[in-house]
Amino acid sequence: MITTTEKELNLVELNLKGKDFLTLADFSEAEILGLLENAKKIKEALRKGIAFQPLQGKNLGMIFEKSSTRTRVSFETGMLQLGGHALFLSSNDLQIGRGEPISDTAQVLSEYLDGIMIRTFEHEKVEELAKYASIPVINGLTDMFHPCQVLADLLTIQECKGKVKGLKMAYIGDGNNMAHSLMIGAAKVGMDISISSPNGYKPNEEVVKRAEGFAKESGSTIVITENPVEAVTDADIIYTDVWASMGQEEESQARIQAFAANYQVNEELAKHAKDDYIFLHCLPAHRGEEVAAEIIDGSHSVIFQEAGNRMHAQKALLVEVLK
């Protein structure tokens, strides 16, 4: 197999070595776009069967307090393809699950590993881990943010639309971690975003204000509305997520009652978007709840390309922060 280097791939030099990836708010437009450009080049090399392994000898610890299909497989396979090794660390197997302070865990893991990816509940836990670790920490998901998913989303949009700046995204559903990260990501790259959620389920106001600051800098707009038709009108991208995320199972019935009447992405709603809109979903999806089967399985849906791009976007990130 032919092997290649960063120089031969002509990767964008971003100088992110050792930097934490907790939210997209900490990254500039140029850094985000650079990661997307590098992801495309790394993806193309893989497609051509060219080995790109700059992380030989590097080890990534993956802490999972929330289970996942896409996060585990994409990070583990991505590290392997880059020449490194990924170590699955269940909270049930770590002392952190038995009460060891996060600060102690961070410092101990820093002695063994080159980086940590964590998928957990409270965002404060990721921040504390990053504070005490001397190696880069990557947020694989918290209840507040999901930045790795949005990197993959932006990569998918760029592949399908040829750009990200100047487009309009409509997000329909719960004002959750996806809504928060999509707002920040869109605002950073100059994409308009409209978020439609029922009263009581809107995005966090502090996150909205922070994203609005980024939008002002990039010239994009953020609209928060309870009217899904307003949000979807003339949209280039329609995005949704489950109504009850992991850890909210007890709220499931109340959430279905709040969302079911107006917040399902279906053909009636989608007809207000542009004719060539694309549909995105971070998965897993509940067909018949947040999205109708004819939408998620229809011609506008690119959800599996989007899911595949998790690995490619994260490989670009891993190369930058671990090299």
Span 34-57, average pLDDT:
97
Residue 264 has pLDDT above 80, yes or no: yes
Which residues neighbour 312 within 8 Å (Cβ) at sequence distance 6 or greater? 39, 40, 42, 43, 46, 78, 152, 155
Q: Of 192, 241, 255, 264, which residue is the catalytic one? A: 241
How does residue 250 score in pLDDT terms, banded at 50, 70 and 90? confident
Strands 137-141 and 85-90 turn out to be: unpaired
Instruction: Report pLDDT digits (tens) over 11-23.
Output: 999 999 999 999 9
DSSP characters for 28-44?
-HHHHHHHHHHHHHHHH
Average pLDDT value over all residues in the chain: 96
Q: Compute and round to an integer the Cα radius of gyration of the chain.
A: 19
> At residue 252, does pLDDT exceed 90?
no
Average pLDDT (289-304) is 98
Catalytic residue among 180, 300, 310, 312: 310
pLDDT(57) > 90: yes
Instruction: Provide the annotated binding site for L-ornithine.
Output: 177, 241, 245-246
Q: What domains can be seen in the chain, in order of their start residue? A: 24-145+310-322 (3.40.50.1370), 149-244+256-305 (3.40.50.1370)
Tens of pLDDT, residues 132-169: 999 999 999 999 999 999 999 999 999 999 999 999 99
| 249, pLDDT greater than 80 | no
Number of H-type helices and E-type strands within the chain: 13, 11
Across the range 307-311, mean pLDDT stands at 98
Report the SS3 class of residue 122: coil
**Given the residues 81, 149, 158, 314, the one annotated as active site:** 149
Is residue 246 predicted with pLDDT exceeding 80?
no
Extract the annotated binding site for carbamoyl phosphate. 68-71, 95, 119, 146-149, 282-283, 310
| Spatial distance between the Cα atoms of 273 and 240, rounded to a whole number of angstroms | 14
Annotated binding site: 68-71, 95, 119, 146-149, 177, 241, 245-246, 282-283, 310
Is the per-residue pLDDT at 1 higher than 80? no
Give strand pairing partners of 61: 87, 116
**Does 47 have pLDDT greater than 70?**
yes
- d(CA 172, CA 181) in angstroms, rounded, equals 14
